[in-house]
Amino acid sequence: MGELRLMKGNEVLAEAAIRCGCDAYFGYPITPQSEVMETLMEQKPWESTGMVVLQAESEVASINMVYGAAASGKKAMTSSSSPGISLMTEGISYIAGAELPCLIVNVQRGGPGLGTIQPSQADYFQAVKGGGHGDYRLITLAPASVQEMHDFVKLAFDLAFKYRNPSMILTDGALGQMMEKVELADYTPRRTKEEIIDQCGSWATTGKTSGREKHVITSLEMDSHKMEQNNLRFQDKFKNIEANEVRYEAIRCDDAELILVAFGTSSRICQKAIELARDKGIKVGLIRPITLYPFPTAIIAELAPRVKGFLSVEMSAGQMVEDVKLAVYNARCITPVEHFGRMGGILPSPNEVVDALESKFLNQ
Amino acid sequence: MDINDIIKPENLVYDKSPLQIDTIMHYCPGCSHGVVHKLVAEIIEELGIQEDTIGVSPVGCAVFAYNYIDIDWQQAAHGRAPAVATGIARTNPEKIVFTYQGDGDLASIGAGEILHACNRGENIVVIFINNAIYGMTGGQMAPTTLIGQPTSTSPNGRDVALNGYPMKMTEIIATLPGTYYVTRQSVHTAATVRKCKKAIKKAFQNVIAKKGTSFVEVVSTCNSGWKMTPVGANTWMEENMFPEYVPGDLKDNDIQKPASGN
Amino acid sequence: MAKVRGAVVVEKEGCKGCSLCVEACPQEVLALHKEVNSRGYHYSYMKNPEECIGCSNCGVVCPDTCITVYRVKF
């Protein structure tokens, strides 16, 4: 058993980064995630593991510092909250276009605009549909506990390097600020120069030796035919990710007649709602997508023919609900798909979820 | 003496650096970029740092710098080269990192990134090509465009009331304590090319010695954008650019330790 | 005093005819040819080869690195 600690979600992101052998963190303060960089600065990992931590002048600079480090094969990350992620989307598009592995953490707050500092899940579209310009996807992980905030840092890096694609941890202010028991992983040393060349030597800017051609990290291609080929290659990669990396949790779905679909903080609320609903005799289950991209389409398609409906519970006006509908459509079913959500930084209550189930599916 | 008796390997005095890739550059005839690219290739070769050097190319005409010098390159988003270089240099302190940026990239959209990278004293070389115009997009006004200078977005000449003043980035950069060496050069004559080479070489040597940011502005021509001949553009540059962008060293900590607060 | 002779080789296809080398030559050795290369540029050539002193100024200012310079002392 690893070391047990009571920690905040934001703090554990920092701790997990150090422990998984992360090479660099570049960030800019923004509520409700500033504890990530604060924890790193307090821990001074440059003295222990050699990890670089730098406060950049903006989110724009942060993501471009990540680009520079990632392009030389380093394990680099940044974290921010919704308005800051919007600023980063240019850089994220470049990172995706240049096929660089890195980790971006979005501890969401309510929007649009400056919005609020309270938790939200309204950046779902931005995260899973790409966010910036061009056809790209982010491998998007949605933790629902402080333990998963810890575990997904390593997982996100592993997937990013496996596919040479940016990963995102899409979480929210509630999970960032929440304290829970967490089992910390043992320290994995940062990769040596030789290990980085082993892993990334075919593409990274590790320095042009006489034994190889120069490496150029760029997303630019002026020849339309070649640029289309690049895009086709990206699409193949995304198909591969969709085929191999879907992760979800199914809770009490076996006998369920109604299925809640919820991720992160909402999924925790839904677990309580299931208990309340079952006390009333309503057989409810939960599909909790762990990867929002790739979305767990197959399990929803599998459930669609035998359940009475799906309720997508989100802290937004209804974004993931569109992917639930697509999954049901893929099963060629007409099972009703509804949405219930709260916005502006308000968390839905379990009772509200049960009320929504009753009003949308039972009292008609 | 027959010409063929002169053209012999043992008599060779000037040739292309082997680090310069054998291809025709995409630049317009007479463009200053070609000269500066050549200097960078020569310097990397002379210092023997090909394996350790990572270049960061900008958005603008020089985006394709990576096609011409045989080292590893990263291509940065518009204006972000100093941030990208920071990411490389901080995680690879043994590497020699340089950015190559134009005036639109460095002085306009990337004004924030260059100021902060220089202020942190990032151990990088910055090569700043200032030709007072946006070349790649077709000759629009830049922050460094001179007052009265016509461009496609200031067809009647830059108007101070509308567009403000030419931005002297190098003067601003020189005030930042993080910078070690700040100089302004040009490449319009053989003598200035040789002098510019010394400056860029010194900048690379500073980074090898981990002295902090070395910043080299090269006042340049864009004869296509200026709608002049290459020779005419050089003359115009001397007469109009140099009074505003005066060549010479603005700061060299090797010679003079900075005054207090600078 | 030793006499110096030089020679310039212009890589014809690489030349874009900017004439910066012509301008930089102190001996008026170079000129643009009346013919064009395959890319349509009037390329630089040694019009007065006997005047060349191999100073390399032409090569140094050439943006297209298409000039090689040779020099002998005798």
For each of the domains in chain C, give its residue range(s) and CATH number, in order of start: 4-73 (3.30.70.20)
pLDDT at position A130: 83
Identity (one letter) of the amino acid at A243? A
Q: How far is B67 from chain C (nearest CA, A)?
A: 14
Record: contact B193-C60, CB cut-off 8 A: yes
Record: contact C72-B6, CB cut-off 8 A: yes
Q: What is the mean pLDDT of each run of 10 residues along chain B (262 residues)?
A: 92 97 96 98 98 98 97 98 98 98 97 98 98 95 97 96 97 97 98 98 98 98 97 98 98 76 46
ipTM: 0.96
pLDDT at position B97: 98
- Cβ distance A273 to A350 under 8 Å? yes
Q: What is the DSSP string of B49-68?
A: -GGGEEEEE-SSGGGGGGGT
Record: contact B194-C60, CB cut-off 8 A: yes
pTM score, two decimals?
Answer: 0.97
Numbers of helices and strands, H then E, in chain A: 14, 15
The CATH class, in words, for A3-193 is alpha beta
In this complex, the residue of C18, C63, C71 whose CB is nearest that of residue B13 is C71
Q: Which residues of A touch B86 (CB under 8 A)?
A: 54, 56, 61, 65, 68
Would you kindly state where each structural domain of chain A is located, as residue ranges?
Answer: 3-193, 248-362
SS3 for A35-81 is HHHHHHHHHCHHHHCCCEEEECCCHHHHHHHHHHHHHCCCCEEEEEC
* pLDDT tens, residue by residue, C37-62: 999 999 999 999 999 999 999 999 99
Distance CA B105, CA A125 (A): 31
Q: Which residues of B touch C23 (CB under 8 A)?
A: 231, 234
Q: How far is B226 from chain A (nearest CA, A)?
A: 25
For chain C, which chains pass the contact test of at least 3 CB pairs under 8 Å? B
pLDDT at position B260: 52
pLDDT at position B261: 47
What are the residue ranges in chain A where pLDDT is below 70? Answer: 364
The CATH class, in words, for A248-362 is alpha beta
Distance CA A354, CA A276 (A): 7
Record: contact A214-B53, CB cut-off 8 A: no
Q: How much is the average pLDDT of C3-31?
A: 97
Distance CA A260, CA C47 (A): 85
* Domains along chain B with CATH numbers: 25-252 (3.40.50.970)
| Residue A364 touches partner B, C-beta closer than 8 Å | no
Q: How far is C33 from chain B (nearest CA, A)?
A: 15
Residue C1: is its pLDDT beyond 70? no
Instruction: Identify the band that residue C11 occupies on the pLDDT scale cut at 50, 70 and 90.
Output: very high
